[in-house]
Chain A
């Protein structure tokens, strides 16, 4: 490894020049990470970081919890602009274009240039790799990846006379079963909805991507310059959301991401569409028999992938880049990834992780965790373009406008598409 050689060289050089530099560290790493789930994530990250540091005493590493995804990106970019970037950070996979535009990150495929390293890069699930690439290069390494799945209350299914082992597979089934699952009190007020798909904000936009995928389309492509908001698939997806409310299967109006797991646990809804990142939370708090299935689809199964990847920042020394790569390899190694996955519910990004004994035992204990993995071949990249935040805002406005009844589906997507094109034309 070049890094070790460099260290040795430095030691030799130090000795030659009479510099008795005890414990010379080859690299000082600063590692920014966000937390986006209800789980003891900070402790796990810290423990893993400490283990790597213990195994690599020549390096220093400082793990910095930097808030949620958005705050972490802002902090990392601000630090980079000030000339003091973190060497390595976990940031949203979809921030790839923003980070590239700001010149903040390096292609990892250029740093991991040995054949073994290339092989290591090839060892991740394809479903998680398709949003790491730009211009033929890999810019990030999957780490805390998630995908939404369909959580359902088996007791509620039984009560409604439905087969608890056969969750809905299609939109039509979702509506039919949802009608049976919706319960009303004496006043006609709903006490249990059929399902709950978050439609507000970024969470809503993420899930919406899954609806579009299930209609055989995508919202964006690897180029980062194309937003496909006005397509038959998006209109059909918006109409599905409208229909859910119109048929009384889902609460009318916008549905928030944050309240959703709680509503499911409290029996306010018989099923919900949310991230695998909530598996651990639901498992700990559910007082009923629950199951997980593929997201019901339009023409077939479909889901978005989301979550955070490792990035290596530019304006760093080769020693730091090598150390950062080593750190990333450790964090995504089978053992570390298994612990991270079990602690949080994130989907381990490499097949080898799923072969470890702890992971096998975990999958046996919580078979719901395997559903996301099985769904992965049907998953597509999350909406990502240049000027992601701005363009996504147009998509969010379109979805929110439709579900709150202030816009028709066709008008909403037309308007959003025009705005997105106006922003993206600079990049084509």
Chain B
């Protein structure tokens, strides 16, 4: 580009994206911050500036503590498992086995479905007694498990749904990455005496690293961002065992209509995501390229 845009035109072109950014990102974020410093007013309770009172409530909120614990476990488990599963599926689909197109299709299918639909499918799958999971268990003579009705299985059940839903998409990224790995790198390793496991860990996996980082970022964001299945399947229950942070924000804000505390939780979430994003950019800048 040698020709320079006239300053006026440049300014005009910048106004639209900037105003969108301000209107839909910055303004709501600042508004949330402001709201978090006020009480939840209604016709019965006058609006009142409360300072950091809502933030003090965060510290005393034992439900929040559980939700944060759940979210952490959820992220720590779903991210690596989704990555591992999607690499495995991509390897399988990328192999020379017959019927790979069918596998590709079936692995990718969950990704195309809306999460709400996926949740409804799994709701039926998990239904104790009548669901597929119970029927499989009973085929082995095992008692059926009330997956969504037990505090020790509900969160895991949510993770399985999320992984099942996400792995298909990540598989596509890995498939593209696998196909871009030059075959002669693997040949070179094989000639040096590396078996297929060694080739995978020495050559394939390191070359997938940029994809892995990209996928990990997405999976981590999704771990905080996607809660549709929680709303459909457990509503955070039983006894908050499957409640995640965003679900809690949603419930407090729109269920309890406690906009002040909802805003406070939103600010907390923005801070957490901001820290994660900063960490990821740092990792991305350091690790994603072979320069």
Question: Residues of A at under 8 Å CB distance from B?
Answer: 70, 74, 77, 98, 100-103, 185, 187-190, 193, 199-201, 251-256, 258-259, 262-263, 266, 268-269, 386-387, 389-390, 393, 396-397, 400-401, 403-407, 426-427
Contact = CB atoms under 8 A, between A and B. Distances in A.
Interface of B: 42-45, 63, 123, 127-130, 138, 141-144, 146, 148-151, 234-235, 237-241, 251-252, 254-258
17 contacts: A98-B257, A187-B143, A189-B138, A200-B237, A251-B146, A255-B146, A258-B123, A259-B130, A262-B130, A263-B127, A263-B130, A268-B128, A269-B129, A389-B257, A397-B63, A406-B151, A407-B239
Nearest to B128: A251
Given A102-B42, A189-B141, A389 B151 contact: no
Contact of A101 (B43, B151, B235, B240): B43
Given A189-B142, A190-B143, A387-B256, A254 B129 contact: no
A387 B258 CA distance: 9
Given A404-B238, A407-B239, 20 more contacts: A74-B254, A100-B43, A103-B43, A188-B143, A189-B142, A200-B237, A201-B237, A253-B150, A254-B148, A254-B150, A254-B238, A259-B128, A268-B129, A269-B129, A386-B44, A390-B255, A400-B238, A403-B149, A404-B239, A406-B239
Contact of A266 (B129, B235, B240, B258): B129
Nearest to A388: B256
Contacts of B251: 389, 393
Contact of B149 (A253, A268, A393): A253
A262 B126 CA distance: 13
A254 B149 contact: yes
Nearest to B141: A187
Given A254-B149, A259-B128, A397 B239 contact: yes
B29 to A, nearest CB: 20
A254 B154 CA distance: 10
A200 B149 contact: yes
Nearest to B63: A397
A328 B279 CA distance: 58
A117 B61 CA distance: 48
A337 to B, nearest CB: 31
The 10 closest A-B pairs by CB, nearest first: A254-B149, A268-B129, A400-B238, A254-B238, A400-B239, A253-B149, A253-B146, A390-B256, A103-B43, A187-B141
A189 to B, nearest CB: 4
Contacts of B127: 256, 259, 262-263
Contacts of B63: 397
A102 B256 CA distance: 12
Contacts of A74: 254
A419 B256 CA distance: 14
Given A254-B149, A389-B257, A406-B151, A200 B42 contact: no
A256 B252 CA distance: 22
Contacts of A254: 146, 148-150, 237-239
Contact of A393 (B238, B256, B257): B256
A426 B44 contact: yes
B129 A101 contact: no
